[in-house]
Chain A
Amino acid sequence: MGTFIQLVVDGLATGSIYAALALAIVLVNQATGLINFAQGGMAVLSAYIAYAFTRLGLPLILAILIAVVVSFLIGAVIERFLIRRFEGGDPDTAVVVTIGLLALVTGICAVRWGYNNLAFPSLFPLTSVEILGAVVSVRSLATTVTIVAIMVALQVLFLRTKLGLALRAVADNPSSAALSGLPVGRLLMVGWGFAASLGAIAGVLVAPQLTLTPGMLDTALVYALAAVILGGLSSPIGCVVAASAIGVLENLAAVYVPLVGHDLKIAVPFVLIFVILVIRPQGLFGRKVVVRV
């Protein structure tokens, strides 16, 4: 039982990282209608930026905050000068653009910091606490709590502020929003900025565990995409639930299903997707098409 609780809490922690990345993907998709396959790569760059600032002697928390702000700007600039050109066009071309962006961002990390694993300091103590008789790591708990807090903050931003209203309006129908005087271009930049910042937080929270490499989040991206497929692109809450479920399930499967083990737990969400698609061709939540074409 103790192991079980430990596994669930750890699973929720990794699940919350996937959830943050999945939310960033949904945010971009809502704003610009495309899937950003570079979301994970951009988050790695953010983590490297935080790393660089800690190397300059800045306290970790300050380095992270700077990285989050810089990531916002990077996201906005990418939208303006790279993605804008392909918005509203063929979605397949836009996907390839984000693939190119992924290669570019990964390449920038590789050129600047190399392919060797770098140790990233943890924001949270590496101690454990006892909950219900189970030993649970503080880092897992704190990671989950941090991400949940950020999601609540985002929810408030989107539902309670004028900026949030404007972002939702642009996501809903950009050409109609423009007729009410909303600066669509600038709002799309803001949307990409928020997504990049969210990715940055996911990146710095997971970096101590995975250690920094240019491809650190390739796998996490795949998990996040699985969460997006299962949860639905139009449902941020669905994505968070799916991401958490994936995090917990894969952790349990790795330990309790010998066939899966730690090396193949990445297959868990995809086996799930395939099984669901075979049983329910219309998708998980009854929508015929989860992705806007």
Chain B
Amino acid sequence: MRTISAVLANRSVRASLIAVVAIALIVAPLILPAFTNQTLVRIGVYAVAILGLNIVMGYTGQVNLGQIFFVGLGAYVAAYGVNHDWNILLVFVAACVIPGIVGLFVALAAARLGGLAIAMVTIALPIVGVPLAKRLDEFTGGSQGTSARFTDAPDWSGLYNDQWQFYIVLLVTAAAFLLARNLVRGRYGRSFGVVRENEAVAASMGISPYRTKVLAFTVASIFGGASGFLYLAAVQYTSPETLSFGHSISLVAAMVIGGAGSITGALIGGAYYVFVPQLTNAIDPNLTAISQGAILLAVLFLLPQGLVSLPRVIRRLARRRTAPSTPSGKPPQNSPVHHPTTEAAVREGLETQRGKIDHED
């Protein structure tokens, strides 16, 4: 294991690995069957939405239960643009910008409340969004929904539709992941992390928790809009059902199961979002919700960092088996969350008002 990561650390090895993956992704749709391509396309669609959710929730620690609203909004904007013969680039920009603006306004109000209130407000977005979409039928086609075909493969390409769609989604998804990676690794990413860990500390460092939250939420909404554009590109149809409450919950579940605060986790989350309902639907459609709840809770108990942390956990377990056991008076294993024990908490006698409740019945 360690040798593999050592090899990976090498720059040229990494570059060539990326090249191999890129080539594989470019060649794959040409040889894969249509159904597989469509499945991969849908993974890309939701991975972008989950990536956005990850930025606001995983990286900045603000629970957002309304991400699907922005996906739906992006899809509707794209459909409207396509049906009014806008230039496709304009359609894409509008599908990102309009959800971004709406997200900005929601965040400007919700982030003022702080804490869990953002979760409490955002949960309303899909609940309000569905009747709103039905009402605004001249834009949305009402309950019937609206379809928009703009991703049929052009003749010059010599591609099938599924292949053409694959490339569109691949392009946007790859760009989104690259952008997100640079964002979370840069200055803003650091302020996201500080705000998540401790808002008071952030404020003392000159980082405004309010502005940081608004920024993260807005970025998440833009990613949601981009995902909506891709959704329309892949499905060519959208309806109020797209932004239903259940789907919003599924997005959150997929994000956590994939791995909060991890770029790769978003990709795994996208795969989970597409595959698991497919699987449970095949067995019994009524099983979808219960399996979702059970899997999410199981992951929270066993792998709080999500599936992306599985290799790390296995490695640790393997090491523990070989290494001698820890010295006597074993220190208790701490909470599942990624908050490191701060210096202050270690200081003797710092018993907070609502400290960890250490009791088992």
A and B, direct touch (CB closer than 8 Å): yes
State A178–B354 Cα separation when bound (angstroms).
Answer: 12
State A107–B276 Cα separation when bound (angstroms).
Answer: 15
In the complex with contacts A96-B300, A104-B297, A293-B115, A219-B339 CB distance below 8 A: no
State A270–B106 Cα separation when bound (angstroms).
Answer: 10
Selected from B114, B284, B357, the residue in CB contact (under 8 A) with A289 is: B114
Q: How far is the CB of B65 from chain A (nearest CB, A)?
A: 7
Chain B 100-134 interface 0/1 with A at a Cβ cutoff of 8 Å (1 = within)? 00000000011011111101110110011001101
Considering only residues 128-145 of chain A, those with a C-beta below 8 Å from chain B are none
Stretch in contact with the other chain, from B154-162, B230-238, B288-296, B323-331: B288-296
Chain A 279-293 interface 0/1 with B at a Cβ cutoff of 8 Å (1 = within)? 001010000111111
Selected from A96, A183, A225, A261, the residue in CB contact (under 8 A) with B123 is: A225
Selected from B115, B199, B300, B356, the residue in CB contact (under 8 A) with A291 is: B115
Chain B 160-186 interface 0/1 with A at a Cβ cutoff of 8 Å (1 = within)? 000000000000000000000000000
Q: Is B286 an interface residue (CB 8 A)?
A: yes
Asked if B293 contacts A107 (CB within 8 A), the reply is yes
Q: Is A156 an interface residue (CB 8 A)?
A: no
Q: Is A86 an interface residue (CB 8 A)?
A: yes
Collect the chain A residues with CB atoms within 8 Å of residue B286's CB: 107, 110-111, 114-115
Asked if A106 contacts B293 (CB within 8 A), the reply is yes
State A259–B291 Cα separation when bound (angstroms).
Answer: 40
- For the complex, count residues of B whose C-beta is within 8 A of A: 60
Q: Is B341 an interface residue (CB 8 A)?
A: no
Selected from B131, B245, B246, B337, the residue in CB contact (under 8 A) with A93 is: B337
Asked if B123 contacts A89 (CB within 8 A), the reply is no
State A224–B351 Cα separation when bound (angstroms).
Answer: 33
- For the complex, count residues of A whose C-beta is within 8 A of B: 71
State A184–B300 Cα separation when bound (angstroms).
Answer: 24
Stretch in contact with the other chain, from B20-28, B248-256, B265-273, B310-318: B248-256
Collect the chain B residues with CB atoms within 8 Å of residue A189's CB: 361
Q: How far is the CB of B142 from chain A (nearest CB, A)?
A: 11
Asked if B114 contacts A110 (CB within 8 A), the reply is no
Collect the chain A residues with CB atoms within 8 Å of residue B351's CB: 175
Q: How far is the CB of A276 from chain B (nearest CB, A)?
A: 9
Q: Is A174 an interface residue (CB 8 A)?
A: yes
Selected from B61, B117, B287, B335, the residue in CB contact (under 8 A) with A290 is: B117
Selected from B123, B199, B252, B354, the residue in CB contact (under 8 A) with A33 is: B354
Collect the chain A residues with CB atoms within 8 Å of residue B296's CB: 96, 99-100, 103-104
Collect the chain B residues with CB atoms within 8 Å of residue A174's CB: 354, 357
13 contacts between A and B (CB under 8 A): A88-B354, A88-B356, A92-B57, A99-B65, A103-B289, A103-B296, A111-B286, A218-B127, A263-B131, A264-B132, A283-B112, A290-B114, A293-B116
5 A-B pairs closest in CB distance: A107-B290, A104-B293, A103-B293, A291-B115, A107-B289
